[in-house]
Amino acid sequence: MRGAALRWAFLALPIAVVAVFLLAPLGLMVWMSFWERAGLLVRPAFTLAAYYDFFQGARLSVLERSLWVSLEATAISLLIAYPIAYFLAFKARPSATRAVLLLFTVPFLINYIIRTFAWTYLLGRTGPVNGALTALGITQGPVDWLLYSDVSVLVGLITSYMPFMIFPLWMSLAGIDRRLLQASWILGAPPAATFWKITLPLSLPGVFAAVVFGFVGCFGESAVPIIMGGVGYQLMGNTITSTLDVLNFPLAAAMSSIVVAAMLALLGLWYLAFDIRAFLGKIVRWRA
């Protein structure tokens, strides 16, 4: 009997860890966004002051800019990643697929902040990109809009989050039953019709997972706008950290709650609309 109890405890351990150290803190954060400030401290209360502060103030433009930048970065990342995932799932040999997926894992593993620092040099006035543009005669001299602009922030966000988006896309595409595609071919559908009517709809769980990961990551990103945006460039993420620095905890909690609420809404939609079993069918053996 003791063995069985130990076994249950082992299986329940990770669930308990996530519940205690992630769900409880997130709940506390949402609760704290309704607290009131008392000097440098906070006091339990129920006030909408922090949200009022956020939606009335200049920070609303931060939310708007964050939404736009995250949408753009996610859309561009998806356009870059989907063809690669499609090619790896359907056209490349398995050994080549493994090698390419590994090559996309390595940049994801190396801290994106270090990679983003490098872009400030690459895109800077004296950097190689401007050097090449000038040498090739495309521009008259170094251009300024490459760095500390929306362009550089997009470059930073895309290179940070795109590598990982390949994986859910590839997983859902590789999991598609090939017989469906053959059936479509036998029934005389041209390749484009097969793609739009069969492949794309069946890969939507992966597309949606990649979009949630990319969008929420960009939406809450705090380091990239600081490094690539230049002085005064504010997205939700770095606005939250600067609010923390001035010890306005309820406001920081309120902004963070907005980000997490967006994430939970998207994730809930994903969970309800798609069957993760189909999506992860390749790596999980589900009980009947």
Partner 1 sequence: MAGGRPALTPLVWGYIALVLAFLYVPLIPPILFSFETGGGAGALRWYAQIWRNPILTSSMLTTLKIGIAVALAATVLGLASAMAIRELRAPRLVLLLMLLPVFIPGVSMGLATAFFFRQLGLAPSLLTIAIVQVLWALPFATLIVLTAMSSFDPVYLEAAYLSGANRRRAFLDVELPLIWPGISGAATFSLILSFNETVRTAIVQGPYNTVQTYIWSTYKQIGLSPTLYALMSLLILLTLTLVAASLLAGARRAASLRAE
Angstrom distances, CA of residue 6 to CA of 15, 17, 27, 211: 15, 16, 29, 39
Binds partner 1 by CB under 8 A, chosen from 52, 55, 121, 196: 121
Only segment of 45-53, 54-62, 81-89, 134-142 that touches partner 1 (CB under 8 A): 81-89
Residue 75 is a binding residue for partner 1 (CB under 8 A): no
If binding is defined by CB under 8 A, does position 259 make contact with partner 1? Answer: yes
**Residue in 237, 248, 251, 254 binding partner 1, rule: CB under 8 A:** 237
Q: Could you say whether residue 102 binds partner 1 (CB under 8 A)?
A: yes
The single residue among 39, 246, 285, 288 that binds partner 1, judged by CB under 8 A, is 285
Residue 218 near residue 69 (C-beta atoms within 8 A): yes
Comparison of 140 and 260: residue with beta carbon closer to partner 1: 260
Confirm or reject binding of residue 192 to partner 1 (CB under 8 A). no
- Least separation, in Å, of the C-beta of 211 and partner 1? 11
| Residues numbered 45-74 forming contacts with partner 1, rule: CB under 8 A | none
Residue with tokens 């690669």: 84
Count Cβ atoms below 10 Å from residue 176 Cβ, excluding itself.
19
Residue from 135, 247, 265, 276 in contact with partner 1 (CB under 8 A): 276
Nearer to partner 1, 46 or 140 (CB): 46
- 85 token code pair: 């995932």
Rounded to the nearest 10 degrees, the angle between the axes of helix 59-90 and helix 94-109 is 160
- Tell me the residue length of the chain: 288
Q: What is the DSSP letter of 127?
A: S
One-character DSSP codes across 215-230: HHHHHT--HHHHHHH-
